């Protein structure tokens, strides 16, 4: 029996912005290179731009797919991920009843996204002449679209804190385009009032969009009003790190996800300033389940009497 060709279908929010369509098409090309299977995209709000998930699924079957992984291409799990995307899968099941479906999860706080966010911050600061250690009067502002779902809003707060702790910033704020608090202009004014000379902003957005442009306008208004220096570190976009995160979620949907705790565990990843903790036995037993090279890492440290003490690593 020939092996199945399990295609990947990304399901995004929907957009009228042609830049977002170009970006997701470019990302599909990057993912296709990594998975070597048909890869397509679709939208929840497909009245704004085609295709719908069922249209895209049929196209992937036409490319030879006989199974399908669907992924919500959304930053965090809020209303669209929890209700709208599953509803859009019903027509796929109805019109393609013989097609096996495997549904995955949002990208969330995938380590490769955090890597890219940190790279964006470094590049933006260097362009602004701010390379080197982050000064005490520079704050980090991480912005997102905003949701009525506190789960998703809380994830942005976690992203900002994690990004600050691994980029050298000693102060981090979050802000949103709408729906919830604080709005981007409120957060920027608060940072200015607190005495910060510079704010480095990163937009936790996968694609170009109207909500990100709304935040841009808010930030620009505060900058003109107060003279606050704002370094714009941009958003994610169609980059290799995003493609690798998508490919990872694809494999998780097919084979399961066996993490003992979290994507961003310091015993799993060599985080900046905490590299020595990666691979320690604290990482679940002896560490091999979360890092294949854990034994080698531990062997290199065997002569250090403190190597089992993660607090000193």
Report the pLDDT value the prediction gives residue 259, as an integer from 0 to 100.
52
The pLDDT tens digits of the residues spanning 8-24 come to 999 999 888 899 999 99
28 has pLDDT over 90: yes
| Cβ–Cβ under 8 Å, residues 277 and 267 | yes
In the predicted structure, residue 295 carries a pLDDT above the cut 80: no
Q: Which residue has the tokens 């097609």?
A: 99
pLDDT at position 235 is 96
Write out the E strands in 67-211.
67-72, 101-103, 138-144, 172-176, 198-203
Please name which of 227, 148, 213 lies closest in space to residue 184, comparing C-alpha atoms: 213
Q: Output the average pLDDT for the chain.
A: 89
Query: Residue 313: its pLDDT value, please?
Result: 66
Task: Determine if the peptide bond prior to 182 is cis (ω within 30°).
Answer: yes
> Alpha-carbon distance 145 to 236, whole Å?
14
The DSSP code for 10 is E
Work out the average pLDDT over 186-215. 95
Q: What pLDDT sits at residue 77?
A: 85
Q: Is residue 178 over pLDDT 50?
A: yes
Q: What is the mean pLDDT of residues 132-138?
A: 95
Comparing 136-140, 200-204, 298-302, the range with the smallest average pLDDT is 298-302
Distance CA 97, CA 53 (A): 14
**Does 282 have pLDDT greater than 60?**
no
In this predicted structure, the answer to whether residue 61 has a pLDDT above a threshold of 90 is: yes
Q: Which residue has the higher pLDDT, 163 or 79?
A: 163
Q: Is the pLDDT of residue 47 over 60?
A: yes
At 130, list the tokens.
């701010």
Residue 260 has a pLDDT of 46
Residues 6+ apart with CB under 8 A from 219: 184, 185, 188, 201, 230, 232
Q: Is the pLDDT reported for residue 283 higher than 50?
A: no
Residue 276 and residue 200: Cα distance in Å, rounded?
28
CA distance 174 to 184: 8
DSSP H helical ranges for 98-142: 111-127
What CA–CA distance (Å, rounded) separates 50 from 44? 10
What does the pLDDT look like over 65-89, one tens digit per residue?
999 999 999 988 887 788 889 899 9
Confidence bin at 106 (pLDDT 50/70/90): very high
Domains of the chain: 6-103 (3.40.50.1400), 111-232 (3.40.50.1400), 264-312 (no CATH)
> What span, in angstroms and rounded, lies between the C-alpha atoms of 185 and 141?
11
Higher-confidence position of 193 and 304: 193
**What percentage of the chain exceeds 70 in pLDDT?**
92
Task: Point out the least confidently predicted range of 166-170, 231-235, 301-305.
Answer: 301-305
CB atoms within 10 A of CB 191: 25
CB 175 within 8 Å of CB 145: no
Residues 27/242, Cβ–Cβ less than 8 Å: yes
Question: Which of 94-108, 182-196, 247-261 has the weakest average pLDDT?
Answer: 247-261
pLDDT at 108 over 50: yes
Residue 77 sits at φ, ψ, to 5 deg, of -85, 100
Please give the average per-residue pLDDT across 48-75, as a whole number: 96
Report d(CA 108, CA 75) in Å as an integer. 5
For residue 310, the model assigns a pLDDT of 66
């Amino acid at each position: 029996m020939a092996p199945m060709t399990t295609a990947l279908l990304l399901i995004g929010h929907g957009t009228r912005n042609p830049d977002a369509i170009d970006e997701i098409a470019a990302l599909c090309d990057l993912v296709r290179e990594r998975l070597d299977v048909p890869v397509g995209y679709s939208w929840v709000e497909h009245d704004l731009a085609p295709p719908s998930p069922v249209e895209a699924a049929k196209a992937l079957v036409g490319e030879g797919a006989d199974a399908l992984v669907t992924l919500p291409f959304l930053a965090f799990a809020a209303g669209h991920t929890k209700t709208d995307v599953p509803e859009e899968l019903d027509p796929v099941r109805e019109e393609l009843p013989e097609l096996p479906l495997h549904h995955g999860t949002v990208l969330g706080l995938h380590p490769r996204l955090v890597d890219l966010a940190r790279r964006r911050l470094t590049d933006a600061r260097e362009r602004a002449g701010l390379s080197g250690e982050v000064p005490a009067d520079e704050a980090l502002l991480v912005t997102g679209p905003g949701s009525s779902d506190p789960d998703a809003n809380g994830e942005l707060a976690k992203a900002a804190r994690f990004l600050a702790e691994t980029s050298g910033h000693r102060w981090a704020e979050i802000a949103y385009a709408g729906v919830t608090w604080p709005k981007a202009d409120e957060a920027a004014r608060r940072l200015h009032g607190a005495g910060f000379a510079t704010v480095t902003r990163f937009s936790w957005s996968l694609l170009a969009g109207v909500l990100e442009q709304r935040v841009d306008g808010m930030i620009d208004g505060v900058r003109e009003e107060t003279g606050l220096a704002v370094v714009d570190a941009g958003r994610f976009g169609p980059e290799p790190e995003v493609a690798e995160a998508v490919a990872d979620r694809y494999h998780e949907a097919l084979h399961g996800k066996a993490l003992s705790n979290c994507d961003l565990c310091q015993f799993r990843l060599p985080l900046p300033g905490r590299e020595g903790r990666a691979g320690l036995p604290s990482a679940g037993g002896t560490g091999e389940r979360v890092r294949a090279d854990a034994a080698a890492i531990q062997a290199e440290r065997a002569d250090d009497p403190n190597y089992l003490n993660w607090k000193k690593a």
